[in-house]
Amino acid sequence: MQQASNPIIECSGLSIGYADMLGKVARVVDEVSFRLGPGQSMGIVGESGSGKSTLARALLGYLRGGGRFDGGRLLVDGIEITSTTFTSIRSLRGLRVAMVPQNPLASLTYHMPVGRQVEEVLRSRRGLVRVEAERRVVELFAEMGLPHPETIGRRYPHQLSGGQRQRVVIAAALACDPALLVLDEPTTALDKTTEAQVLELIQHMRVARGAALVLVTHDLNVVADVCERVLVMKEGRIVEQGLVSAVFRQPEDTYTQTLLGASLDLSGAAPSVNAGLKPLVSVQDLTFRYQQSGWFGPKNSTGKPTLDGVNLSLGRGEVLGVIGESGSGKTTLGLVLAGLIAAEKGVLMLEEQSIAMLAGKRQPALRRRIQTVFQDPLSSLNPRQTVATAIMRPLRHFFGMNSKSAREKAASLLADLGLGPEFLERYPRQLSGGQQQRVAIARAFAAEPDVLICDEITSALDASVAGQVLGELDALRQKHGTSVILITHDLAVIWRMASRVMVLKDGLVIETGATADVFAAPKDAYTANLLSSASRVRRLGQDTTLIEEPLAHAV
């Protein structure tokens, strides 16, 4: 492996800031310095808002609106990013440097099949003809473990699960064999078995092609698996950097020590089942399938349904966990219950009212009672609306609050989720991924729902913030008697929050029961495999690390 004496990245005293209306610059990256050679790998870790994603985007010359380089130098593959022309930066993107963003849905064109989007990369950047590009797309999709790689490219982004969308974006990034791959939270949407496959693929690519790798993540286990070096950031500054093996075993900075110890506490028992709960939501024989597009518009699909005869019940105040691998139908189930897509058949009831119709056909009072926190917070927030507008809208629409009262309530909701009142005037793209998710949670609770559908609610949060958010969510649930459908690939979250769990595979309910019973003695081999993947202990070299999946302590 080449040494960092001929770095592909050379960052010296780099600062990045955002100017307010008066021209005052607030730095979000403050005098950062590091080097990375070809074939080397580095993880960037830190709490939400530490500046790690801003630093990663800067490697491709990207800055969010209002951002600017405020000092220092940044050379990538010999090009000075902080002062070069757009033409020079464009010659890097896609060919020499590629990025996998945190929110795959936001980076995919919604009205174009995903296969064509990857084909565009191959044709425009590598000059392949259509037939060659189509063949290479199938190969890439197969490498990423996508189901039916020959046909899945015909689907649109909204017809894929979050994990499938993420793998499509990773395939597009790998398409041109870049010398540097920048990954911003690449596994947040993936279940543990798929995560392991993707990380193995990334490792193979880096070693085989001699590419450098920068990995931004809040999952320290992923860094331990993939990276040689680690850079720890706090409030825009580097507090510690070095070899992963050294930093993780003997962290020098107290902040690093806090990060390493910030796993969810699952030493206690899972929530117990309350058999006397009054039913709130009941679903019988729910079936749904996505239609494939033909030359002259939509046509009926005779393929396998995404959801096939699903039955479930949810008691008032209960938390039901829904788990399964990427593509199992978890997110689709949430979309049907929220009324964002219509079931093919089945009975869906909220107490005595049918919710089998689309949300647009539900009465306002019924729409208020079911709210959703989506997997991709940036995609669910209006980029032209401030945080205040986003949270105040349901308060004014459903409860008729005046502007002053709604603003005070919005500030209170943000405070419950660890954000100060200054965030009210910010726009979504001025927030970190974790901050965006907390705004989305605040907006959902503004409607005071009876049912909250949480789709990967902690996927964008580091461990310490995730624990805080889950604590606040549980407190709000108990205070208001809110029922929660918790869709996640993080089994530790299920153990902490859900009294019952339902396991999905290929649209079928494989197993359901009390969380403690299912986790302790799974009846189905598929469930057992999910639990095994989540409870594995990571290793550094030949030595077991101090970082374990929390589930290993709970089961």
DSSP for 542-554?
Answer: TEEEEEE-THHHH
Looking up tokens 């003997």, which residue turns up? Answer: 250
487 closest CA partner among 265, 329, 357? 329
Q: What percent of the chain lies above the pLDDT cut of 70?
A: 90
For residues 114 and 134, what is the distance between their CA atoms, to the nearest angstrom? 12
- Rg of the chain (C-alpha set): 23
Fold agreement (1-96+181-186+218-260, 279-292+303-554)? yes
**Number of Cβ atoms within 10 Å of the Cβ of 200:** 13
pLDDT in tens, 240-269: 999 998 998 889 998 888 887 665 444 567
Tallying the residues shown for the chain, one arrives at 555
The 3 state secondary structure assigned to 162-203 is HHHHHHHHHHHHHCCCCCEEEEECCCCCCCHHHHHHHHHHHH
Residue 21 — left, alpha, or beta (φ > 0 → left; ψ -120 to 50 → alpha)? alpha
Distances (CA, A) of 296 to 159, 291, 299, 444, 446: 19, 13, 8, 38, 43
DSSP output for 215-237: EE-S-HHHHHHH-SEEEEEETTE
Residue 264 is predicted with a pLDDT of 47
- CB contact at 8 A, 148 and 155: no
- Cα angle: 19, vertex 20, 23; to 5 degrees: 65
pLDDT in tens, 317-327: 999 999 988 78
- Cα angle: 464, vertex 466, 467; to 5 degrees: 70
Residue 298 is predicted with a pLDDT of 52
Residue 259 is predicted with a pLDDT of 80
Which residue type, as a one-letter code, is found at position 267?
Answer: S
Structure tokens at 465: 């913030």
For residues 133 and 129, what is the distance between their CA atoms, to the nearest angstrom? 6
CATH T-level assignment (fold) for domain 1-96+181-186+218-260: Rossmann fold (3.40.50)
* 56 Cβ contact partners less than 8 Å away, ≥ 6 residues apart: 44, 99, 182, 184, 214, 216
Structure tokens at 170: 């990773």
For residues 56 and 46, what is the distance between their CA atoms, to the nearest angstrom? 13
H helices, E strands: number in the chain: 21, 24
Residue 539 — left, alpha, or beta (φ > 0 → left; ψ -120 to 50 → alpha)? beta
498 closest CA partner among 517, 479, 526, 480? 517
For residues 102 and 442, what is the distance between their CA atoms, to the nearest angstrom? 21
For residues 152 and 141, what is the distance between their CA atoms, to the nearest angstrom? 8
For residues 59 and 179, what is the distance between their CA atoms, to the nearest angstrom? 13
Q: The sheet that has 67-76: what strands, in order across it?
A: 25-36, 9-19, 67-76, 79-80
- Class for the domain spanning 279-292+303-554: alpha beta
Structure tokens at 402: 């005046």
For residues 430 and 423, what is the distance between their CA atoms, to the nearest angstrom? 9
Burial of 426: CB neighbours in 10 Å, binned 0-12, 13-18, 19+:
middle
Spans of all domains in the chain = 1-96+181-186+218-260, 279-292+303-554
- CB contact at 8 A, 337 and 346: no
Give the chain's residues under pLDDT 50. Answer: 1-4, 264-266, 295-296, 536-555
For residues 431 and 423, what is the distance between their CA atoms, to the nearest angstrom? 9
Structure tokens at 496: 């902490």
For residues 309 and 322, what is the distance between their CA atoms, to the nearest angstrom? 15
**Number of Cβ atoms within 10 Å of the Cβ of 280:** 20
